Amino acid sequence: MTSADERELRTASRRLALQFALIIVGLFVALGVVVFSVVAAGQAEAARKVLADASMVDSPHDAPRNLLVTAVGPDGSRESSPDLPEGLPDEQALAQVEQNGGSVSGEVEADGRRYLVETDVRNGRVVQIAYGLGEQQEELARLLVALVASGVIATVAAALVGLFLARRSIRPLADALSLQRRFVADAGHELRTPLTLLSTRAQLLRRHVVSTDADEEVRTGLDEIVDDSRALTEIVQDLLTAADPRQTAEAVEVDLAELAGAVARAAEGRAEERDVTIDVSPEPGSLVTGAPVSLRRMIVALIDNALDHARSHISVTVGPHRDSVLLTVQDDGPGFSEGVEDRAFDRFASARDAQTAEPHGRHYGLGLALVAEVVSRHHGTVDASNRPEGGAVVTVRLPKRQ
């Protein structure tokens, strides 16, 4: 495994560990909210029960030590528990009950502490009982600190455990990817060498033929061999780039209409062998941003797919449409099988029924999958459908160069 692969492994492990830690944090937050809410509700219920149990208290002398009582007689005389904090009694509640009767409950803050206060009429006197919530608030504060501390500890532990498990889980996959990249690189190197030799020999042969009185058809054929060998070399490099996501091809301005015309001209020989005509309808302004080799490979795959199934005619149209460029390839073949939208662009999927009358070799179901891959890398979309009059239509939509 190379140093770059090791860096990728470490980065992926950290991401998984971070995600695992975030999940633990989310679970702890949810659990903490539930626990805190349950404890707070229980304390509030306990405070209300204490006040309910003190329903017979109507004098400060009869009150337990944890209750503060204020009693107002009919003549306005008042008795209060000693050392009432500032803010008690709740004069507004006393006046309301004294005037309207009934009972008033609520919380009052006095000297920075919260009190649960209930005011009602008992034995002809207005009695107000206050229960301090300070201890409950302190318990809730201690619970909150404990939850936060345990959450931090659990998060750190989860991150460390997640990092360890992630590295152990990802390493086999990283080793497999590294082996795949080495295989692709080795295969690319082995392919580039004979392709370079083929291109060199073809160029030498072309120079020799140009200097002689050779037939024009031979010269044209040699020119096409040189162009095809160069295109094959570029395709190999593009495949290497696609196989390793760490590599990126340089994006340049590409005239998709011109590129489609060049690919169609290169396919004319194969089309003539099958008595198929290829018509190209280019429109100006069909400029996109991308890798020319990848886009050429995409168009080659589309035309090859159409040639494999067309009976007599293939139509290629390229033109701008709003903020996109549309490339449409149509043929008059049997069309796509039913349910094509679900699997037309899957690898090794046979999206169309083969023409048994004139088989053209085995189909591996990779052409449209490669098209979808190239389109995705160029931030476009592709879809397949059938023509009403018969035949298939593949439409590629790529962002227009701004």
- Let me know: does 343 contact 359? Beta carbons within 8 Å: no
Name the one residue in this structure whose structure tokens are 């991150």: 159
Name the one residue in this structure whose structure tokens are 């001209």: 265
The reported pLDDT for the residue numbered 398 is: 94
> Domain 3-138 falls in which CATH fold?
Beta-Lactamase (3.30.450)
The reported pLDDT for the residue numbered 361 is: 45
pLDDT in 10s for each residue of the chain, 402 residues: 566 667 777 777 888 888 888 888 888 889 889 999 999 899 888 888 888 887 777 777 777 778 888 888 888 888 888 888 888 888 888 888 888 888 888 888 888 888 888 888 888 888 888 888 888 888 888 999 998 898 888 888 888 888 888 777 777 777 777 777 777 767 766 777 787 778 788 788 877 777 776 677 777 777 778 777 777 776 676 666 665 555 555 678 999 999 999 889 888 888 888 899 999 999 998 999 988 888 888 898 899 889 988 999 999 999 998 899 999 999 998 888 776 655 677 765 555 554 444 444 444 455 788 888 889 888 899 988 888 888 889 999 999 987
Query: Measured between alpha carbons, how far is residue 6 from residues 153, 247, 331 in Å?
Result: 29, 16, 48
Phi, psi for 16 (deg, rounded to 5): -65, -40
Note the helical H segments in 124-246: 134-210, 216-243
Q: Looking at the domain that runs over 249-399, which CATH code has it been given?
A: 3.30.565.10
Instruction: Fill in the amino acid letter for 102.
Output: G
Rounded (10°) angle between helices 367-377 and 292-309: 150
Domain boundaries, the chain: 3-138, 249-399
Distance CA 369, CA 252 (A): 24
Instruction: Fill in the amino acid letter for 278.
Output: I
Residues 6+ apart with CB under 8 A from 184: 239, 240, 243, 244
DSSP state of 60: G
Burial category of 88 from C-beta neighbours within 10 Å (exposed 0-12, middle 13-18, buried 19 and up): buried
